[in-house]
Structure 1
């Protein structure tokens, strides 16, 4: 019974992943590269679990007639295992750049460990390298078995390095979810390497995939599809839970792009969308602090929520935005210039009505916009 308990867990998780894969296939936008990558990771994990189930069942002296099948199952299992963390790296890369203009290029050297492991796995079918199957049809680790965990841990480590290097582009929750996935994968892999009877690698991976799937669905609900910023639904959720947050001061910046209607009228709505995406990228670049919310309310209106103590900090970030927009306008990349008006208000008391503070910021923004029009 002890032998089959891990297999039963694998079967349950395999069925769960198949159900989630079907839900993903019919409900997610498959044109989106991050969604496609996640589906590949989910599908390959389900495939790896199925191979592990077959490997345990076939590892039986009474099933010698299936010795060839057991070898094929192990060749496929050894080949697929490091592909999943490699795809995880590509997924992380595409996730953090999914709304950015400049993409991070794939380092092709990262394919080399994958290639080496794949060749070794296929050679192991007839030569005892990574594994071998005895004449009694029992699986044994080969003298070069260490190559597989080394390759896997190489990708785990590189993923964590990439996340750390790009940490400013990840949100607070994204950092924790993505780090947890690779750290947990490393721990589960280590347990199964030391205690081979515990099938923890794919059990743990499947559970982490479920967690990430929930995170992705939640992110899509609260994300503006055009700009990649958070949407008004995210703002409402934040306001509903603000009483539970220990915030001394909250600064609200209401921003509106000047003369945006003229961009749509002169150059078309597609160009207007490009202007919105560029302005969103400049917001992300300019407001680099962690405790913030960049929100597209709708149209050309944006909200920025900053959890900082001093107004001087807010002013510095607005100056950053002004400098970045001036630098962009000087490139003459577009036949129009980006300009904006803004209003800033502060909430320093938990009893204050946040909506009144927002109205104050909105009023100040329109006063600035009106003042600029009068000067022109």
Structure 2
């Protein structure tokens, strides 16, 4: 009875979060639509598990056929959730690397085999779905448990492989989606496995909403709130190294005037995508406002920083050619490092901003001299 009460409570909790997510979650953010799928799939599994425990009572033995359908569905859907969790982590960690998605067709084979076994077991005999004392007594149950555990481990491997692309905080939050159910499994707390998944989903949702408040709605880059939070965290570190890259787009007003503000917004989004992809896992990319951007990098070697700038220029040029844009996205930048003797990070950023404007004015001066 306690398991039923717990599942009902968690179901109500997930329903409230799912409603809030449908209303407030930014659908354009990669991974968010799949997170909604995780919420709904977990809800379905919790409901099936609740009915399974409910109909297992002696007074409901006459509903054995219905009990059988619920158990088969439960075993069939159980591996689907960790598979989607692994796919969700892949989208979050490798959000700027589309080639990673090609590998998932092969990883879906155990899931398809589990669905096939579930269908066959339902057609053959009720005995294939019997479970005693929490331990699988059938081919379906055994394969379902193994496949579920396999996908939880895949999720942890995905996070480990892309750990350098995201923050430690995000790695920890994503890892909880697999860590909590695996931990309950090790202690043989089978009735609480989905409770662990639910708690991890709640924590992930809090993390998503918190980060959404720190995102620029147009470009998806960090906003000033994220910038201030990053500085506060950086001040607490020892052995600090940091570089500031201030960026301003060249002739952005001309794009707006010639092609309209909608195309100007598109240019900002394309530039932001290139900026985020170039510095993914390397630093914080911020949209300060308008066509002004800032990247904070925990790196001070001039040759490495210059390679980053060149990679950004090359990426933007490639996107411009692929999309056959009627204009060129160019930018001016200022680059400073904290080891140059600045009293604070803000002073370093202000100097980087001044260097950027000096370069920009120099370009504009050359352009005017050519037109005379």
Instruction: State the match for 2:197 in structure 1.
Output: 205
TM-superposed deviation, 1:104: 3.6
TM-superposed deviation, 1:183: 3.2
TM-superposed deviation, 1:262: 1.1
CA distance in 2, matches of 1:140, 1:375: 76
Matched, 1:343 2:340: no
TM-score, normalising length: structure 1: 0.84
Instruction: State the match for 1:268 in structure 2.
Output: 260
Unpaired runs of 5+ residues, structure 2, are: 368-372
How many residues end up aligned between the 2 structures? 365
Unpaired runs of 5+ residues, structure 1, are: none
Pick the aligned partner of 1:160 from 138, 156, 159. Answer: 156
TM-score, normalising length: structure 2: 0.85
- Are 2:284 and 2:297, in contact at CA under 8 Å, matched by a contact in 1? yes
TM-superposed deviation, 1:341: 0.8
CA change 1:146–1:367 in 2 (3 A) is same
CA change 1:360–1:81 in 2 (3 A) is same
CA distance in 2, matches of 1:360, 1:143: 67
TM-superposed deviation, 1:224: 2.1
CA change 1:96–1:274 in 2 (3 A) is farther
Once the two structures are superposed, residues 251-283 of structure 1 have per-residue CA deviations (whole angstroms, 9 ceiling, x without a partner) of 211110111111122222232223222222322
CA change 1:340–1:156 in 2 (3 A) is same
Q: Secondary structure at the match of 1:146?
A: helix
Matched, 1:69 2:66: yes
TM-superposed deviation, 1:55: 1.8
TM-superposed deviation, 1:207: 0.7
- Are 1:264 and 1:271, in contact at CA under 8 Å, matched by a contact in 2? yes
Pick the aligned partner of 1:361 from 342, 345, 352. Answer: 352
CA change 1:108–1:310 in 2 (3 A) is closer
Instruction: State the match for 1:277 in structure 2.
Output: 269
Q: Secondary structure at the match of 2:216?
A: coil
TM-superposed deviation, 1:78: 1.1
CA change 1:309–1:271 in 2 (3 A) is same
Matched, 1:44 2:41: yes
CA change 1:109–1:303 in 2 (3 A) is same
- Are 2:221 and 2:286, in contact at CA under 8 Å, matched by a contact in 1? yes
Matches for 1:1-376 after TM superposition, within 5 Å: 4-29=1-26, 34-96=31-93, 104-105=101-102, 107-125=104-122, 126-128=124-126, 130-132=128-130, 141-167=137-163, 169-191=165-187, 195=188, 198-287=190-279, 290-328=281-319, 333-348=324-339, 352-376=343-367
Once the two structures are superposed, residues 181-240 of structure 1 have per-residue CA deviations (whole angstroms, 9 ceiling, x without a partner) of 22333333444xxx3x64121011011101110111011111223323211221022223
CA distance in 2, matches of 1:184, 1:119: 28
TM-superposed deviation, 1:105: 4.5
TM-superposed deviation, 1:363: 1.1
- Are 2:79 and 2:147, in contact at CA under 8 Å, matched by a contact in 1? yes
- Are 2:121 and 2:140, in contact at CA under 8 Å, matched by a contact in 1? no
* Higher helix proportion (structure 1 or 2): 2
CA distance in 2, matches of 1:260, 1:198: 58
- Are 2:26 and 2:212, in contact at CA under 8 Å, matched by a contact in 1? no
